[in-house]
């Protein structure tokens, strides 16, 4: 076999169309052997890498082709007390491998020391029969006209999912594609996401990972995937043909292309805060054998041991430039080669630790901010780890968003009936300005959620007060104990109609709260169909029907509700503000764009602001947004009134006053999906049931287009007055139509003004409305929603606010 010197960059195995360049960094190694595995028996051929440039061992092999399986053996001192754990008997997975040629098979031979003895002992057994192999991959792919949707943050709705569990049982997905990247990109999966008005999917880790040995011995696996071994290779367990090394990359790209075509972004949950090698008692699979002292953050006092800020055994040495390079090269690869749109960084403070202290001005953030590729994608931090000073909610730099744990805790506690100071709750519902505004960030820095993969599902959140994690094999000791929730009066499943009705109401309350809050809503996959994990709030190791979404048992009524509320968020500008309310404290009388009310209709005083209130109303003024669209025109929409009652009794709310020519129109009431269309004048009373939320919007008594939403009005105005229409109209004038007069509380948005041809089109559309498509409240065009089976004579649910599919021009 011909061996040429090759190049030290790029690292890893790179096919250039004529051969493959291999390059491996190791600061402390004395020699490196490239090991090629060929034939059905995977016989090993060793190629010494004799060239070394800038601490990188490299060679070019013109006779090697894509699909070649390989690994490395790295020579050097085995001195654990000094931080060195070189052992050339252990075959190592390339840290830059872009594909997996063979998975790991657990064996004691994988450990650098003799299992059962001290970790300073030396094990001379060959691990090549058990170690995972990298594979050379040809990354060429026909992307066609694929382009990033580039959805603005304030318009984003995130849907967190696990690739396998999402489609494993999904009807409409071909059987062989279920649970794969291709399944997620299938027509049935994409249709579900579009109907739910999702703009971005956040995928639980898809980097190549291994199953923990102790889990496999129990018949379990690392289902969530937070145990990374390859930061460049897509996990082959999610492809339809895991035996083909190129399959995972090809199907992942195909999935991204399909989601982009539907306007949906792809965000990856990435785990750079630790690796699958664990602590000093873990196996030698990759970095530990390549250069333990270079890659890992070792204890300064005793380099034999690892600094562990995650509870997973080790932490990367983010002070080392080559470690930073590894992380940045990986991120850029997934953006440039795989076309992903952003990242959610697991336990992100670990990446900012320099000398064990979290430094928000550290090298990691500096590099991200100046990188021309990475500073334009979506960046989400899980802003905590278990190390000292690791709780960093609100402390990440400009350009970052954060999972807002403060939002989750406050909203859960409020609907569970606990006492939450009103100022705390109000800040959470309006973008958490107390956390983000002082650092120059916007409301969309807050990723709002009440459920995520790590914890209860929404159904379980309202059904269990105690975790039930026995299936994990840890004696129910794992998982969170304080979940700030309420089971509705009974622990677990029940046939009590009062309890089940209360739980259904609580699910609607929390979903509506997330979608009506300022910031970026994040939904957990399966919550919209009522998925349950039977009380398990730490199902990280359950790769079975406990976590796979049970589509055949979907709660169709709740799904229809989710469709309606997500559509409402897409249509109402006041729910997607780019700026905080007036940029000043949100409390007090006289703040016109947001007002907080007690049930008697009076605004909260400063004294009452610090007190908990279980019944509360908030008015969001849609005519006082004071922002402009991409064309410089003012954005004005409906004024909304949200009433929340977390008390155990019904409450009569006095609705705030409106203009004489306006009234309040009921959009939804979580206590009664059957409640008919209703309007209420300002000052009149509305009775809200216990544990319920109601949403109203102002309706003009004079506006001939009262049923027209801002979104639809803009689409129709563009259709009849856009550049093409103006150019084609004889004698078309360049003058803009006269704006409606501005007045207190009046609609002053230019988009609210619709030219004369539009009413005729609307009337024609109303006359042509198919039978069975019900008229919805203003802001909701008609849509057929698959109905749940119902008894004869039962009324359709959510009759007054069903969503509609996206139409041309809706994004404008």
The catalytic site residues sit at 346, 382
Distance in angstroms (rounded) separating the CA atoms of residues 583 and 370? 28
Distance in angstroms (rounded) separating the CA atoms of residues 188 and 431? 34
Inter-residue contact 430 to 518 (CB < 8 Å)? yes
E strand or H helix that includes residue 52: strand 51-53
Half-sphere exposure of 343 (CA within 13 A, CB side): 26
β-pairing verdict for 56-61 and 20-25: antiparallel
What is the DSSP code string of 24-48? Answer: EE-SS-SEEEEEEEETTTTEEEEEE
β-pairing verdict for 615-620 and 31-38: unpaired
DSSP state of 379: E
Residues 6+ positions from 564 with CB-CB distance below 8 Å: 668, 780, 798, 801, 802, 803
Distance in angstroms (rounded) separating the CA atoms of residues 210 and 221? 9
Distance in angstroms (rounded) separating the CA atoms of residues 575 and 518? 6
Per the listing, tokens 């259709």 go with 719
Long-range contacts of 721-729 (CB under 8 A, 24+ apart): 721/755
Inter-residue contact 625 to 573 (CB < 8 Å)? yes
Q: Across the beta sheet with 51-53, what order do the strands follow?
A: 12-15, 20-25, 56-61, 51-53
Under DSSP, is residue 650 helix (H, G, I), strand (E, B) or coil?
Answer: coil
Distance in angstroms (rounded) separating the CA atoms of residues 537 and 453? 9
Under DSSP, is residue 56 helix (H, G, I), strand (E, B) or coil?
Answer: strand
Distance in angstroms (rounded) separating the CA atoms of residues 417 and 617? 16
Query: What angle is formed at CA 58 by the lines to CA 55 and CA 64, rounded to 5 degrees?
Result: 160
Under DSSP, is residue 424 helix (H, G, I), strand (E, B) or coil?
Answer: helix
444 torsion bin: left (phi>0), alpha (psi -120 to 50), beta (else): alpha
Go through 122-137 and write b for each residue having 16 or more CB atoms within 10 A of its CB, e for each that does not: ebeeebbebbbbbbbb
Report the 3 state secondary structure along 76-129: CCEEHHHCEECCCCCCECCCCCCCEEECCCCCHHHCCCCCCCCCCCCCCCCCCC
> How much is the CA Rg of the chain, to the nearest whole Å?
29
Inter-residue contact 100 to 230 (CB < 8 Å)? yes
Distance from the Cα of residue 579 to its chain's centroid: 22
Report the 3 state secondary structure along 174-227: CHHHCCCHHHHCCHHHHHHHHHCCCCEEEECCCEEECCCHHHHCCCCCCCCCCC
Residues 6+ positions from 491 with CB-CB distance below 8 Å: 463, 464, 465, 466
Distance in angstroms (rounded) separating the CA atoms of residues 755 and 183? 45
The residue among 422, 716, 366, 418 whose CA lies nearest residue 597 is 422
Number of CB atoms found within 10 A of residue 707's CB: 17
The two tokens of residue 706 are 């009262």
Under DSSP, is residue 451 helix (H, G, I), strand (E, B) or coil?
Answer: coil
């Amino acid at each position: 076999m011909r061996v040429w010197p090759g190049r030290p960059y790029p690292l890893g195995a790179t096919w250039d169309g004529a051969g493959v360049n291999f390059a491996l960094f190791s600061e402390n190694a004395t020699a490196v052997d490239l090991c090629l595995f060929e034939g059905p028996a995977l016989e090993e051929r060793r190629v010494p890498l004799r060239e070394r440039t800038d601490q990188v061992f490299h060679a070019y092999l013109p006779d090697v082709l894509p699909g070649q399986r390989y690994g490395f053996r790295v020579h050097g001192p085995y001195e654990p007390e000094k931080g060195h754990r070189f052992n050339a008997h252990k075959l190592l997975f390339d840290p830059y491998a872009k594909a997996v040629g063979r998975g790991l098979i657990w064996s004691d031979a994988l450990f650098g020391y003799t299992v059962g003895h001290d970790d300073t002992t030396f094990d001379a057994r060959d691990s090549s029969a058990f170690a995972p192999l990298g594979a050379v991959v040809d990354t060429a792919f026909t992307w066609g006209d694929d382009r990033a949707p580039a959805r603005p943050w304030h318009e984003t709705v995130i849907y967190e999912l696990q690739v396998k569990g999402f489609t494993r049982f999904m009807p409409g997905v071909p059987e062989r594609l279920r649970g794969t990247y291709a399944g997620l990109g299938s027509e049935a999966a994409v249709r579900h996401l579009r109907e739910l008005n999702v703009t971005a999917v956040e995928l639980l880790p898809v980097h190549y990972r291994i199953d923990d040995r102790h889990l496999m011995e129990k018949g379990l696996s690392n289902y969530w995937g937070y145990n990374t071994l390859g930061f460049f290779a897509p996990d082959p367990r999610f492809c339809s043909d895991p035996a083909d090394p190129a399959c995972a990359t090809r199907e992942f790209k195909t999935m991204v292309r399909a989601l982009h075509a539907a306007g949906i972004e792809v965000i990856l949950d990435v785990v750079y805060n630790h690796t699958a090698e664990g602590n000093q008692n873990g196996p030698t699979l990759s970095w530990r054998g390549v250069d333990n002292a270079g890659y890992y953050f070792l204890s300064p006092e005793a380099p034999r041991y690892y600094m562990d800020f995650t509870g997973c055994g080790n932490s990367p040495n983010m002070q080392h430039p080559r470690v930073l390079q590894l992380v940045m090269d990986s991120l850029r690869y997934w953006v440039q080669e795989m076309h992903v749109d952003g990242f959610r960084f697991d336990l992100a403070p670990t990446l900012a630790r320099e000398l064990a202290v979290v430094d928000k001005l550290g090298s990691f953030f500096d590099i991200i901010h100046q990188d021309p590729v990475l500073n334009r994608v979506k960046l989400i931090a899980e802003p905590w780890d278990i190390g000292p000073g690791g709780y960093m909610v609100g402390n990440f730099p400009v350009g970052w968003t954060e999972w807002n744990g403060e939002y989750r805790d406050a909203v859960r506690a409020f609907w569970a009936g606990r006492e939450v100071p009103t100022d705390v709750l109000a800040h959470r519902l309006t973008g958490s300005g107390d956390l983000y505004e002082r650092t120059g960030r916007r409301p969309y820095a807050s990723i709002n959620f009440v459920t995520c993969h790590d914890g209860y599902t929404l159904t379980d959140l309202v059904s269990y007060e105690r975790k039930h994690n026995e299936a994990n094999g840890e004696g129910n000791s794992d998982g969170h104990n304080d979940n700030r929730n309420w089971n509705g009066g009974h622990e677990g499943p029940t046939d009590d109609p009062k309890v089940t009705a209360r739980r259904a109401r609580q699910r609607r309350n929390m979903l509506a709260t997330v979608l009506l809050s300022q910031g970026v809503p994040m939904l957990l996959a399966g919550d919209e169909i009522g998925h349950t994990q039977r009380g398990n709030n730490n199902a990280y190791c359950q790769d079975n029907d406990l976590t796979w979404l049970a589509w055949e048992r979907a709660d169709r009524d709740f799904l229809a509700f989710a469709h309606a509320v997500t559509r409402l968020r897409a249509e109402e500008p006041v729910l997607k503000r780019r700026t905080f309310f007036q940029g000043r404290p949100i409390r007090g009388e006289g703040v016109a764009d947001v007002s907080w009310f007690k049930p008697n209709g009076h605004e909260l005083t400063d004294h009452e602001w610090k007190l908990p209130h279980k019944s509360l109303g908030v008015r969001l003024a849609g005519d006082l947004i004071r922002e402009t669209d991409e064309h410089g025109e003012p954005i004005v929409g409906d004024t909304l009134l949200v009433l929340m009652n977390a008390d155990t009794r019904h409450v009569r709310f006095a609705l705030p006053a409106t203009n004489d020519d306006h009234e309040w129109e009921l959009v939804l009431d979580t206590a009664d999906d059957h409640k008919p269309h209703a309007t209420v004048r300002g000052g009149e009373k509305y009775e809200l049931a216990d544990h319920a939320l109601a949403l109203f919007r102002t309706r003009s008594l004079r506006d001939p287009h009262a049923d027209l939403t801002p979104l639809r009005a803009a689409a129709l105005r563009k259709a009849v007055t856009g550049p093409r229409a103006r150019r084609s109209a004889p004698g078309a004038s360049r003058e803009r139509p006269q704006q409606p007069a501005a007045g207190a509380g009046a609609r002053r948005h230019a988009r609210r003004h619709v030219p004369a041809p539009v009413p005729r089109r609307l009337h024609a559309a109303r006359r042509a409305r198919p039978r069975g498509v019900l008229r919805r409240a203003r802001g909701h065009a008609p849509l057929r929603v698959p109905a749940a089976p119902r008894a004869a004579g039962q009324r359709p649910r959510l009759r007054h606010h069903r969503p509609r599919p996206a139409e041309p021009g809706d994004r404008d």
